[in-house]
Amino acid sequence: MDPVRNPYAPGAGTPPPELAGRDDLLEIVRIALDRVRIGRPSKSILMVGLRGVGKTVLLDRMRENAEAVGIHTLRVEAPESRSLPAILAPELRQALLRLSRNAKAKALAQRALRGLAGFAKALKVKFADIEVGLDFDPEPGLADDGNLEHDLQALLEAAGEAAKKAGTALVMFVDELQYVGEEELAALITALHRMAQRQVPVVLVGAGLPQLRGQMGSAKSYAERMFDFPEVGPLSPEAARSAIAKPAKEQGVKVNDDALTHIVNLTRGYPYFLQEWGKHAWDTAQASPITRRDVERSSISAIAALDESFFRVRFDRLTPLEKRYLRAMAELGAGPHRSGDIAEELKRKVTALAPTRNQLIRKGMIWSPSHGDTAFTVPLFDEFMHRIMPGNDWKE
Ligand SMILES: Nc1ncnc2c1ncn2[C@@H]1O[C@H](COP(=O)(O)OP(=O)(O)OP(=O)(O)O)[C@@H](O)[C@H]1O
Ligand SMILES: [Mg+2]
């Protein structure tokens, strides 16, 4: 069928034509943010899930919803190589400039901007990558200690007071939180803890890989009680069906029942895979309805597209030894696997492979669901590893 009208949208952070199966989670966040806005206590929320389950599109949707009801927001993605203060500062500045346009909040927003100036200046020594436009001179003693834990707290408090005065809240949306280093994570947790205690309307809605939960716990032992960690997983069969059927229907195209069942089985309900199969089944079909046969015929190109994009971008970032480690895991199946079993596949000692395993965790390729266990963070990565490294050469 006409590829121009193809509604499906595989891609990192690409909004799907139908955001299926996430109404409950959207509602939980809506309630939490509305509570904060009217001065009621509410926990920060950190969504955790594997690659491609839809965390980024959820964050974006939640942010749109919040903005639509007058909540002030900022949105950042933690990169692997920059510091949290560096990525937060410019976004915070924008949020404060917007707040300063509110007559009631103006004075406090400007004070927070002075705080930001002090913050940036004092922390520049430690975090050389901080670059932020300065609108005001620092206010001596405000967020300018040079100690991240203290200064972040003071800065967010100043920003939150401005939001409160405007009758609203400040919500920070942070993606890929698992890349934030432990010390910076600890400072963020402490700051949010303080906001909650003082009823300052600043909260975090974050997203990250499953290891985030443990990282938060090791950064601050009380973190696991302080936040909610809803899991974002594959879609239920019904939601997965509607993710495919609804966008087609809107174009006047029917997808047969057994075609839907087949797509759900092939993708196991993982959102990224659903978009990819939907797209290829559409392009393969000659006319409505899309049949099971169309889905079968489209699988080769759907898998090839995934291999070239979704899987490939992760694979290309690996060293030869990291690739062999993942290949050994794949040899054992989908996982999780014991470190000892993986080491045995490679005929190496667990301790000798520990640095490789740690590096793979840091790169966000694997995580540890429980002590000594290792699992992929990318769904169906084991099957990809078999395709990309066939045979037994990797054992040498
Ligand atoms: N609820 C949903 N229904 C249908 N499709 C979805 C849904 N959520 C996400 N998608 C689709 O899945 C793909 C991946 O979404 P997204 O990039 O948000 O995932 P992610 O969890 O952030 O992945 P990563 O961990 O790699 O950043 C996109 O193509 C998106 O359109
Ligand atoms: Mg994402």
Spatial contact of 20 and 242, defined as CB atoms under 8 Å apart: yes
d(CA 200, CA 169): 8
Q: For residue 288, report the distance from its CA to the centre of ligand 1, in Å.
A: 26
- Residues with Cβ–ion distance below 5 A, ligand 2: 56
* One-letter amino acid for residue 206 of the chain: G
Q: What percent of the chain has pLDDT over 90?
A: 96
- The number of the ligand nearest the C-alpha atom of 236 reads 1
DSSP 8-class letter at 219 = H
* One-letter amino acid for residue 127 of the chain: F
pLDDT of the residue at 130: 93
pLDDT of the residue at 81: 85
> Hey, which of 6, 64, 238, 275 would you mutate to test ligand 1's pocket, going by the most ligand atoms within 8 Å of its Cβ?
275
d(CA 179, CA 190): 18
Of 357, 355, 390, 396, nearest to 376 by C-alpha is 357
Pairing assessment for the beta strands 170-175 and 373-376 based on DSSP bridges: unpaired
- Angle at Cα 155 formed by Cα 151 and Cα 158, nearest 5°? 140
Residue 79 pLDDT greater than 90, yes or no = no
Buried b (16+ CB within 10 A) or exposed e, 362-395: ebbbbbbeeeeebbbbbbbbbebbeeebeeeebe
User: At 23, is the secondary structure helix, strand, or coil?
Assistant: helix
Q: For residue 66, report the distance from its CA to the centre of ligand 1, in Å.
A: 20
Spatial contact of 269 and 277, defined as CB atoms under 8 Å apart: no
- The number of the ligand nearest the C-alpha atom of 364 reads 1
- The rounded Cα 77 to chain-centroid distance in angstroms is 8
Residue 224 pLDDT greater than 90, yes or no = no
List CB contacts of 125: < 8 A, sequence separation 6 or more.
146
DSSP 8-class letter at 378 = S
**Token digits for 303?**
């898998």
Phi, psi of 367 (to 5 degrees): -150, 170
What is the band of 247 on the pLDDT scale with cuts at 50, 70, 90?
A: very high
Element (H, E) at 67: helix 55-68
Strand ranges across the sheet with 72-77? 72-77, 170-175, 202-208, 44-48, 227-228
Q: Across residues 298-306, what is the average pLDDT?
A: 95
The whole-model pTM stands at: 0.95
Of 329, 346, 348, 336, nearest to 372 by C-alpha is 336
Q: What percent of the chain has pLDDT over 70?
A: 100
DSSP 8-class letter at 310 = I
Q: For residue 377, report the distance from its CA to the centre of ligand 2, in Å.
A: 12
What is the band of 396 on the pLDDT scale with cuts at 50, 70, 90?
A: confident
For the chain, the average pLDDT equals: 96
Of 105, 109, 37, nearest to 69 by C-alpha is 37
d(CA 214, CA 224): 8
Spatial contact of 169 and 33, defined as CB atoms under 8 Å apart: yes
Where does 285-380 have alpha helices with state H? 292-306, 312-315, 320-332, 339-346, 350-362
Q: Per residue in 142-161, pLDDT tens? A: 999 999 999 999 999 999 99
Q: Which residues contact ligand 1 via a Cβ below 6 A? A: 9-16, 19-22, 49, 51-57, 243, 271-272, 274-275
Q: For residue 341, report the distance from its CA to the centre of ligand 1, in Å.
A: 32
What is the band of 106 on the pLDDT scale with cuts at 50, 70, 90?
A: very high
Residue 290 pLDDT greater than 90, yes or no = yes
List CB contacts of 18: < 8 A, sequence separation 6 or more.
242, 243, 246, 247
d(CA 204, CA 33): 10
Residue 2 pLDDT greater than 90, yes or no = yes
Instruction: Please name the residue whose Cα sits nearest to atom 16 of ligand 1.
Output: 54
pLDDT of the residue at 146: 94
Q: For residue 252, report the distance from its CA to the centre of ligand 2, in Å.
A: 31
Atom of ligand 1 nearest to the CA of 209: 25
Q: Across residues 69-81, what is the average pLDDT?
A: 93
Query: DSSP strand E in the chain: where?
Result: 44-48, 72-77, 170-175, 202-208, 227-228, 337-338, 366-367, 373-376
What is the band of 360 on the pLDDT scale with cuts at 50, 70, 90?
A: very high
Angle between helices 271-284 and 237-250 (to 10 degrees): 40
Which residue is associated with the tokens 């599109």?
57
Residue 95 pLDDT greater than 90, yes or no = yes
